[in-house]
Amino acid sequence: MTDSTASGQLEEIKNGYSFDSEVIELGAAVIDDAAHADVPVRLPVSMMNRHGLVAGATGTGKTKTLQLMAEQLSTAGVPVFLADIKGDVSGIASPGEGGEKIDARAKDVGQDWKATAFPTEFLSLGGKGKGVPIRATITSFGPTLLSKVLGLNDTQESSLGLVFHYADKRGLSLLDLKDLTAVIQFLVSDEGKEDLKGLGGLSSSTAGVILRNLIAFSDQGAEAFFGEPEFDTADLTRVAEDGRGVVTCLEVPGVQDKPALFSTFLMWLLADLFHDLPEVGDADKPKLVFFFDEAHLLFNDASPAFLTAIEQTVKLIRSKGVGIFFVTQTPKDVPNDVLSQLGNRVQHALRAFTPDDAKALRATVQTFPTSGYDLEKLLTSLGTGEAVITVLSEKGAPTPVAWTRMRAPLSLMAPSPAETMDGIIAKSPLAPKYSEAVDRESAYEMLNKKLADAPTDDAESGKEAAAPKEKAEPKKKDEPGMVEQVVKSSAFKSVLRSAGTVLGREITRGIFGTARRRR
C-alpha cells in the first residue's frame, strides 16, 4: 500500500471513529502490520444496545475481547452478563498481571495500562460449578424452551404445550421435573383422560416419548437446574456502590456436556428480561449488555418457530435497553435474520483449511462494508488479539472497516484464584436469597394427595366419621371442582405467600411461551 493510500485510509478511519459521546476503547488501527496509536478504534456506549457479533476461530482472542468490553462497560456504570465456559473469564474479578508483553501491547496501541479488578458476581446453574446457584421453575421455562432442551418434534412440542395449559388452568404449580412428570402421568390415567376430553387429549405414545426424555434429562443431573427459589433477572442489572456496573459471570464448566440446556437457559434469561423491563427507547447507555457465548449451540437443530422467536426477541429487546453480543466462531453459525440485527462486528481470525472453511470465509467478507483491505487475505492472517471491526456510529451508520490491534484487559487474563472466588461468593448479597433450594407443595404433591384422598368403599364410612363438621354443613348443589379445591388448598396459600404483597401470580405467555409473575 502506498503512503498516500495508507494516509487516506487512516484519515478515513480516524474520522469514522471520532465520537462525541462515551466510548469503549477497543484498540488502534493497523495498516501494513503497523499499529497507529493516534487512530483509535472505538465503540459508542450508547450504540451497544444495537447488538453485535464477536467471532473468530479458537485461540484468536475472542474471550479477551469480551473481557476488555466488559471492563469498560462496568466502568461506565453498565451491568454486564457473561457466560464463563472455560473458566478464564473469572479473572475479571482480579487485577491483571503486568509484564513485557502487556507493556509492549499497551505502548503499541497507546493504552495507559493499570492492573484493575472489577465488581463481579459468580453464579452457577443449580450449583453445578462455583457460584451462587440459580434456578428456574418449569412453569417459567415454558413448553417452547423445554421442547428445545428435550429435542422434541413439533407434535410432541404441541402436546407438551397442552400439558402446560392444563396445569395452568387447574392451578397445578410446575416447579421442578417431578411436577411435570406427575402431571403427564396423571393425564394418561383414566381420570386424566376424562379431564382432557374437551382439550383434545394426550396420546400415550407421545406422553411416553416426553416421559422418557424427561427421565434421561433428569439422569444427566438436570433436576438441579429447575425449582425454587427462582432467579430474578433484575439481579443482573445491579450497580456497585462505587457506581460501576456489576459483571455477572455464569460459571458453567460443569454443564459443557449439556449444551442445549446451557444455551436455552441463557435464552430464558433474555426472555425473562424482555417481559420484566420497561420500554426505554434510545438511552445514553444500556441497562445491561448480555454476551451470549457459544451462540451456535442455541441455533443447532432449532425449529423454524424457535428461530422466529429468537429473531423477535433480538429485535424487540433493544427498546428495553438490553444489548446482546453473540459470540461464536463464524458468522454462518448465526441465522441470517438474526445476523442482520447485529450492527457491531468484531471479527477475529478465521481458518480456511477446508472447502467449507473457504466458503464461510467468503461469506464473512461479504457481510462487511467495502474497504481498502483485502479482507479475504487479512482474515486468515490476523494475529492473536487482532480483529477486523466495524460498528454503528452515533447516527446509526456503519463505520469504516478497521484492522485493529486490540487493547489488553486490565484484569487477570486467567482464572481468578479459588480463594478470591470463594470470598466473593461468600459475601454475595444474592447468597442468602438463592443458596438454599425450596421444595414447597406443587403439582407432584397435589396430585398424589388427590389420589390418596380419593374415596373408596372401605374408607367412605371412616371418612364421614372423621369429618363431622363437613357433614353438618348444608349440602351444596354441586361438588367443588378441581380449581375450587386448589384455591382452598395449602399449596395455593403458599403461592400467595411467595408472591409477597401481590395477590397470586399474574401469568403471562410471551414470545417463547414463558410464564412469569409480574414483579
Cα separation, 247 vs 245, in Å, equals 6
427-444: average pLDDT: 92
**Domains along the chain?**
3-135+228-434 (3.40.50.300)
Closest C-alpha to 41, from 32, 55, 29? 29
- Report the share of the chain in percent with pLDDT over 70: 85
Position with higher pLDDT, 116 vs 150: 116
158: nearest Cα among 305, 270, 299, 308: 305
Of 157, 126, 124, the closest CA to residue 143 belongs to 157
Of the ranges 145-149, 179-183, 364-368, which is most confident?
179-183
On the question of pLDDT at 427 being above 70, the answer is yes
Place of cell 479458537: 58
Give 510 or 387, the one with higher predicted confidence: 387
Please indicate whether residue 382 or residue 149 has the higher confidence score (pLDDT). Answer: 382
Q: In the predicted model, is pLDDT for residue 210 greater than 60?
A: yes
In whole angstroms, what is the distance from residue 404 CA to residue 386 CA? 6
Q: pLDDT band for position 257 (50/70/90)?
A: low
The Cα 134–Cα 483 span in angstroms is: 31
Query: Cβ–Cβ contacts within 10 Å for residue 115, how many?
Result: 14
Range 18-29 average pLDDT? 96
Cell of 9: 485510509
Give pLDDT, residue 209: 94
At position 346, the amino acid (one-letter code) is V
Least confident of 45-59, 261-275, 298-312, 499-513: 499-513
- The tens digit of pLDDT for each residue in 355-411 reads 988 988 998 998 898 888 999 999 999 999 999 999 999 999 999 999 999 999 999
Q: Residues of the chain with pLDDT > 90: what percent?
A: 54
Do residues 237 and 288 lie in contact, with contact meaning Cβ atoms separated by under 8 Å? yes
Average pLDDT on 207-230 reads 89
pLDDT at 456: 55
Residue type at 182 in one-letter notation: A
User: E strand or H helix at 41, and its extent?
Assistant: strand 34-44
More confident residue, 424 or 192: 424
> 222 near 171, Cβ under 8 Å?
no
Which residues on adjacent β-strands are paired with residue 248?
81, 121
Cross-strand pairs, 291: 82, 325
**Spatial distance between the Cα atoms of 356 and 353, rounded to a whole number of angstroms:** 8
Q: Which of 239, 337, 343, 345 is nearest to 288 (CA)?
A: 239
Q: Which three cell numbers stand for residue 102?
A: 502487556
> Residue 235 pLDDT more than 50?
yes
Residues 6+ apart with CB under 8 A from 426: none
Nearest to 94 by CA among 117, 112, 122: 117
State pLDDT tens for residues 316-360. Answer: 999 999 999 999 988 989 999 999 999 999 999 998 888 988 988
Beta partners for 83?
250
pLDDT 10s digits, 60-91: 999 999 999 999 999 999 999 998 877 889 99
Q: How distant is the alpha carbon of residue 261 from its chain centre?
A: 11
Q: How many CB atoms lie within 10 A of CB 42?
A: 22
DSSP one-letter code for 221: T
Mean confidence (pLDDT) of the chain: 85
User: In the prediction, which pLDDT does 225 show?
Assistant: 87
Q: Which residues contact 17 (CB under 8 A, 6 or more apart)?
A: 39, 40, 41, 42, 399, 400, 402
Question: How far apart are alpha carbons 513 and 315 in whole angstroms?
Answer: 17
Q: Count how many Cα atoms sit within 13 Å of the Cα of residue 91 in the half-sphere of its side chain.
A: 21
> Strand, helix or coil at 425?
helix
Sequence-separated (6 or more) residues with CB below 8 Å from residue 332: 360, 363, 364
Beta-carbon neighbour count of residue 315 at 10 Å? 14
Max CA separation in the chain (angstroms): 102
Residue range 483-504, pLDDT digits in tens: 444 444 443 343 333 333 222 3
State residue 501's pLDDT score. Answer: 28
Residue 132's nearest CA partner among 432, 416, 438, 439 is 432
Task: Provide CB contacts within 8 A for 294, sequence distance 6+.
Answer: 83, 85, 259, 262, 263, 327, 328
Q: In whole angstroms, what is the distance from residue 136 CA to residue 514 CA? A: 11
pLDDT in tens, 442-471: 898 988 887 777 665 554 444 444 444 443
User: Which residue blocks in 372-434 are alpha helix, DSSP H?
Assistant: 375-378, 418-426, 431-434
Whether residue 267 contacts residue 302, with contact meaning beta carbons closer than 8 Å, is answered with: no
**Which of 95-99, 248-252, 420-424, 498-502 is the least confident region?**
498-502
130: DSSP letter:
S
pLDDT recorded at residue 465: 40
